[in-house]
Chain A
Amino acid sequence: MMKATIPSIARRAAPDYAETSRRDPAFLSVDGLCKYYTWRSFGGSRPIKSLDGVTLRVAKGEIMGIVGESGCGKSTLAKVVTRLTSATAGQITLDGEDWLAPRGEALRRRRPQVQLVFQDPHGALDPRMTIGTAMAAPMAAHGIGTPADRRDRVLAMLAEVGLDESFHDRLPAQCSGGQLQRVVIGRALLLEPQLLVCDEPTSALDASMRTQILNLLMDLRARRGLTMLMISHDLRVVRYMCDRIAVMYAGQVVELADRDHLFDHPAHPYTRALIASSLLEPGGIDLSRHLREGEVPSPLAMPEGCRFASRCPYAQPDCTALEPALKQAGSRHFVRCRHWNTHAAATMPPRG
């Protein structure tokens, strides 16, 4: 089988999370999660199927990557998992408890468990609130410590995320994007979350800031054993960060595998197209082998059959008739494609 590797990229050693995941198979489990927004017009309303049956298991201490093009539902997944919006159907279990059940004050009290890092750090901080206040206030809301105590914790956290004390009294406008992203991460960590959801934490940052933030997240994970959902449209980011990767397309998971396995043996045509697109090498690659110039289906009118069929170079007549299910393709490998095993072997470009 031809390997789809990015040769110049050495890999981070795979952590030994398999051990923990066997002991504690699902710290976070998402089952058949659906989120339909409603689209209203003069004629009536239609569902916008932003998430349509997403199932994931994340072990404690694991980093699960979510990749896919914009509009595929990544942020919607983050919003449902962080309880910013309700789910239309499906379940989320966190550490053995139903995470969709608590409401109102009960939910507010449990919120520290799941924290979110936003794409745009400038937007995630109130421009009128100093960084010290923004970081201390959540602790106050949950009755953690005295004011003096909270101040100490904020200063310690600023140091942990690599900022000096002078940031305590600054306003967001006086900091760069990279510095604010550290503040956002620090603010979330002060609540000692069990799950950190990162929604494109580096997409709004420059290359040099991006590596700083990714290093910081890896350090924090090593130090605190954080479980993370790492959402990105950038394969390079999930490749560096994640233990397992779920590839999403049009509201569904189309492929799910351990990181190395996914990059070495991508089974879904869309995954291969994604990998090929990230290989912008001298001379280029012929993308048309991996992607037809079709349109991404609208979440207002999802097709009957395979949602990728409009862009899939391997589409067969039966693909558009029936929707493929997420099927096991290996011991820890799942793929949503009827023909993966017939075309998977001969499709990645020869390299070298």
Chain B
Amino acid sequence: MAAELSLTPARRDIGPLRRFLATRHWTFAAGCTIFSIVLAILLAGPWLWSLDPAAQNIVQRLKPPSETYWLGTDNLGRDVFARLVEGGRFTVTIAAVSVVISVVIGVAVGILAGRIGGWFEEISMRLVDLLIAIPDTVIAIFLVAIFGPGHVTLIVALTIVGWTPYARLARGLALQVNAMDYIRAAEVLGMTRRFILIRHFLPNLIRPISAVTFLRFGHKLITVGGLSYLGLGVQPPAPDWGLMLAAAQPYLDRAPMLMIAPGLAIFVTALSVTWIGHGLEIDRTRPHN
């Protein structure tokens, strides 16, 4: 949504924007609501409830949910809710930063490839073909082996491959736009290159790209969780949803909440963001084919 708002000139888009929002599928509103709640908890949680994710209390190990510990405690007697909030901040940030970087690189490369063509298109698209086949996990293992685990490593690992689907999509869309007569018209009218890219190409790409962005953001959340689960992400004792899942395994029968809480957090966040993407794409007033 942020991209949608800032890149299209606000003045004339107030009408269309309202119309756009009014015709979204229900998943858009639902996704936005849930995601806002998740974000609010993650951002404001530590101040609101003065949570301490690191405080251990050996006496209170593996407790079920209670007044003090809303989601119970883990094997070291730490507050699961506090760790969930702390870990979510990490997981969501990593996923968001890597997705934003991927989108910016991918869209830039894709538009240029579609519009300029020639050797640039050839090289960039071969590169995409090459990278798109590699799973992020493999890259992450490789980078972690070299640089050791950490925020930056994780973000880099996720963006090295992450930009490729956007580049491919953006190029496809740019080729479609480039085939339109209004691009020929803009050329004959002597419009500047900047105008053609910003006013013709970008607006026509934003909606499909942002839909895919949100869809893939959910996917990225799960990947980040998965990488930490494999021990490739953040290192203990710092919390992370994937890590919490991994750590919960031995205590599954005694404290199922240890597993359910981070699992549900990943699921709900991923679902809400996916819903936003899904809702962005679908106009409920028009029958879709």
Do chains A and B directly touch (beta carbons under 8 Å) in the complex?
A: yes
Chain A residues within 8 Å of B, Cβ to Cβ:
82-84, 108-112, 114-116, 118, 120, 123-126, 128-130, 133, 137-138, 141-142, 169, 171, 184, 187-188, 191
Contacts of B12 in A (CB 8 A): 130, 133, 169
20 contacts across the A-B interface (CB closer than 8 A): A84-B184, A84-B188, A108-B190, A108-B192, A110-B190, A111-B189, A112-B189, A118-B181, A118-B185, A120-B181, A124-B181, A126-B182, A126-B199, A126-B200, A126-B203, A128-B16, A133-B12, A141-B189, A169-B12, A191-B190
Task: For residue A222, give the distance in angstroms from its CB to the closest CB of chain B.
Answer: 24
Contacts of A138 in B (CB 8 A): 189-191
Contacting pair A141 B191 (CB below 8 A): yes
Q: Is B33 an interface residue (CB 8 A)?
A: no
Contacting pair A118 B190 (CB below 8 A): no
- Provide the bound-state CA to CA distance between A171 and B20, in Å: 14
Q: Mark B220-258, 1 if CB is under 8 A from A, else 0.
A: 000000000000000000000000000000000000000
Select A84's contact among B180, B182, B187, B203, beta carbons within 8 Å: B187
Select B182's contact among A124, A130, A141, beta carbons within 8 Å: A124
- Provide the bound-state CA to CA distance between A116 and B187, in Å: 10
- Provide the bound-state CA to CA distance between A187 and B186, in Å: 11
Quick one: closest A residue to B181, CB to CB?
Answer: A123
Contacts of B182 in A (CB 8 A): 123-126
10 extra A-B contacts, CB within 8 A, seeds A84-B184, A126-B204: A109-B190, A116-B188, A124-B184, A126-B200, A129-B199, A130-B12, A141-B189, A141-B191, A141-B192, A142-B190
Q: Is B195 an interface residue (CB 8 A)?
A: yes
Contacts of A120 in B (CB 8 A): 181
If the complex has contacts A123-B181, A137-B195, are A187 and B187 also in contact, measured as CB distance less than 8 A?
no
Chain B, interface size: which category?
A: 10 to 19
If the complex has contacts A137-B195, A141-B195, are A125 and B185 also in contact, measured as CB distance less than 8 A?
yes
Contacting pair B180 A123 (CB below 8 A): yes
Contacting pair B189 A115 (CB below 8 A): yes
If the complex has contacts A120-B181, A124-B181, A130-B12, are A187 and B199 also in contact, measured as CB distance less than 8 A?
no
| Interface core residue of A110, A141, A169, A191 (most chain B CB under 10 Å) | A141
Select B190's contact among A123, A133, A141, beta carbons within 8 Å: A141
Contacting pair A187 B189 (CB below 8 A): yes
Quick one: closest B residue to A111, CB to CB?
Answer: B190
- Provide the bound-state CA to CA distance between A126 and B202, in Å: 12
Contacting pair A114 B195 (CB below 8 A): no
Contacts of B203 in A (CB 8 A): 126, 128
Task: For residue A140, give the distance in angstroms from its CB to the closest CB of chain B.
Answer: 8
- Provide the bound-state CA to CA distance between A38 and B184, in Å: 20
Contacting pair A115 B188 (CB below 8 A): yes
Task: For residue A169, give the distance in angstroms from its CB to the closest CB of chain B.
Answer: 8
Contacts of B181 in A (CB 8 A): 118, 120, 123-124
- Provide the bound-state CA to CA distance between A187 and B181, in Å: 14
- Provide the bound-state CA to CA distance between A130 and B12, in Å: 8
| Interface core residue of A112, A128, A142 (most chain B CB under 10 Å) | A128
Q: Mark B194-207, 1 if CB is under 8 A from A, else 0.
A: 01000110011000
Task: For residue B193, give the distance in angstroms from its CB to the closest CB of chain A.
Answer: 9
Select B185's contact among A109, A142, A169, A184, beta carbons within 8 Å: A184
- Provide the bound-state CA to CA distance between A123 and B200, in Å: 13
Contacts of B16 in A (CB 8 A): 128, 171
Task: For residue B117, give the distance in angstroms from its CB to the closest CB of chain A.
Answer: 14
Contacts of B188 in A (CB 8 A): 82-84, 111, 114-116
**Closest 9 A/B residue pairs (Cβ):** A111-B190, A123-B181, A138-B189, A124-B181, A126-B182, A108-B190, A116-B188, A124-B185, A141-B191
Q: Mark B170-183, 1 if CB is under 8 A from A, else 0.
A: 00000000001110
- Provide the bound-state CA to CA distance between A108 and B192, in Å: 8
